[in-house]
Every structure is written in C-alpha cells, then in structure tokens.
Structure 1
Amino acid sequence: MKPAITRRDVFLGGASLAALAAGFPRGAIAQDAVTADQFIALSARLTETAASSLDTTMAGKLLEGFIESGRGPGLTLLATDTQVDTGTVANDVVAAWYSGVVDTGSGPAVAGFTEALMWNALDFTKPFAYCGGETGYWAEPPQS
C-alpha cells in the first residue's frame, strides 16, 4: 500500500521547486572545496605552527583524506570563518598533523610519518631509522 501524499509533502515539494526556479545562489548550497593553500593556512592556525614548516605533500594527502571522508564542508567553514565552531573537525585536523594519520572514507591512512608534528613536540626523540649523528653521539649531553 502506497502512503498518501500529505500537505507537508506538497509544501516541501513546492518550496523546493520554487527555489530551483528562482536559481538558488551557488554559495547557499555548497562552497567550493578547500584549496591546498587554504588547508595549509588553516592547519598553521590550528596547530600554531608556521605554514612554511608544514609539509605540502602531507597537507595534500590529509586534505584528500578529509574530503573523501565527507569532512570537506567542515573544512570550508573553518577556512572561511575563524570564529565558527565545527566540533571535532578542528580537533581532527590537529590530530592528523601530529599523528600523520588521516581517516579516509575507507579507513585510516598514513599521510606522513617523518613529517608528522609529533617529532617536533617530542624533542627528546626522532623518527625510527633517522640517525641523530655519528655512532656514540648520545654519550654527550645535548647542546643547550
């Protein structure tokens, strides 16, 4: 048995048709995707890191992952309005930069390991397989 058409259905259909006929402004429906430069500027603001010290290759991979997982509109809001609160999107951007892992539409993916900001925050360690100097360099106290 088919459900009956309600007054609400007719009203919503008419309103939708009127909006389409009037030519809804493109910006009211959706903004363009965030560009790589906008994402780097946004990331620099959120992580309080200089934009020049953020890896552009990793930024591209992170941005791609956020868009694939449906977080593009939240990124657009964050990039265009510094006062907006988008819940977890800002926290996820910071977490992705520090961990080097982004949640894509098909699961987590490594966007960058040695480029992750955690290595800057953990100044007492370095990425695996990165040498800190000649053999025995650790025997001497670090320069201050």
Structure 2
Amino acid sequence: MTHHPSRRLVLGGMVALHAVALARIAPGQTPLPSRTGPIGAEDFMALSQRMTGHDRLSPTLGARFLEVLAETGRAPALQTLYASASGASGGAPEDQDDIVQLLLHGWYLGRIEIDGQTHLIGYEQTLMGRVTADILPLRSYCGGTMGFWALPPDTGPLPLREAQP
C-alpha cells in the first residue's frame, strides 16, 4: 500500500520551509519603523510583507486576519514579533514560532487554527493561489455553464511568464 501525501500536508510543509528561510533572512533586512501601542492595519501589513516576502498583499484579507488575531488574544504576541522585526527588542523571530506560523498559514492558506477552532480568513486572494495563478486560478464560483468541466481543455502553447532576475 502506497501512501500519498495530502495537498494540505504538502502546503503545510511549504509554509514551514518558508518560515525557516525567513528566520534566516530576517536579520539581514532593514528594521521596520518603531511604534508604540497596539498594532494597526498599516503596521500589520508591513509586518506581513516582511514575513511572507510578498509586497502586494490584500488589505481586505489583512484586516480580517488582524481582527481574528485580536479577537483570539494574539495581539501581544503580534506586538512582540513586530518589536523583534523593528529591532526594538533583542528577541529574534525564532522566539515567536507560533505567531510566525499563524501569519504564514493565514496568508498562504487563508485559514488559521487557534485553540482547536479554525478561522477562515479568505480563499481567492491567498498566497497559495499565486503559485498557479497564470494557469490555474483559484475559483470560489462556477467557471462556466453547467457541465463545463466535462469538456476537454483547450490545447496549445501555454503562456509562460518570463523569468525575472
């Protein structure tokens, strides 16, 4: 009997590898601006861009994400992570593995699990969709008339993106 990994397991592994890579890269980046008080939307987006490595994140998804983190009591951990990224504290991002994992799961998968409860944040604008966006878009709605999926796909040259340096 062969065992095939599930899509969820593969994506989880990719997120974990990304977290390890970011933990090694983060010390070489310029620090985020220092701030006092609770994390605001702009600060959260700046931190998220730093943690994911993506500049174009959805502000709507970010607002939902920040709201879930605040409602579930993760705001202090988020502030500690922000302080680490801004250089205001001596702690390294490795010290905040749980909040880093929540951030990456939220942005890549569109859902996070906190205290055994799954919070759905989004689907179409998550980062997992960017990997296949040029060929296979994530759909949250029907892509055609009834039975469109039974027709053979169009064949021909695939539009490949140019390699970016």
Question: When the two structures are superposed, what TM-score results if normalisation uses the length of structure 1?
Answer: 0.65
Q: How far is 1:94 from its partner?
A: 0.7
Secondary structure in 1 aligned to 2:119? strand
Q: Is the 8 A contact 1:66 1:103 kept in 2?
A: no
The count of aligned residue pairs is: 110
* Structure 1, gaps ≥5 residues long: 1-30
* Residue number in structure 2 paired with 1:32: 37
RMSD: 2.6
In structure 2, relative to structure 1, the CA distance for the partners of 1:39 and 1:130 (3 Å cut) is farther
Identity %: 23
Alignment deviations for residues 3-30 of structure 1 (CA, whole Å, 9 cap, x no partner)? xxxxxxxxxxxxxxxxxxxxxxxxxxxx
* Structure 2, gaps ≥5 residues long: 1-35, 86-91, 144-150, 161-165
* Residue number in structure 2 paired with 1:77: 80
Q: How far is 1:45 from its partner?
A: 0.6
- Code of the residue aligned with 1:119 in structure 2: it is G
Secondary structure in 2 aligned to 1:63? helix
1:125 and 1:81 mapped to 2: Cα distance?
A: 37
1:118 and 1:130 mapped to 2: Cα distance?
A: 19
Alignment deviations for residues 68-98 of structure 1 (CA, whole Å, 9 cap, x no partner)? 1111111111112223421211111011101
Aligned to 1:57, which of 57, 60, 73? 60
Structure with larger Rg:
1
Q: Does 2:46 correspond to 1:41?
A: yes
1:81 and 1:47 mapped to 2: Cα distance?
A: 16
2:60 and 2:116 mapped to 1: Cα distance?
A: 20
1:34 and 1:103 mapped to 2: Cα distance?
A: 21
- Which residues in structure 2 correspond to 1:112-127 (within 5 Å)? 112-123=122-133, 124-127=135-138
Question: When the two structures are superposed, what TM-score results if normalisation uses the length of structure 2?
Answer: 0.57
- Code of the residue aligned with 1:139 in structure 2: it is T
Secondary structure in 2 aligned to 1:121? coil
2:45 and 2:127 mapped to 1: Cα distance?
A: 14
Q: How far is 1:121 from its partner?
A: 2.2
Q: Please say which of residues 83-92 and 62-71 is displaced more in the overlay.
A: 83-92
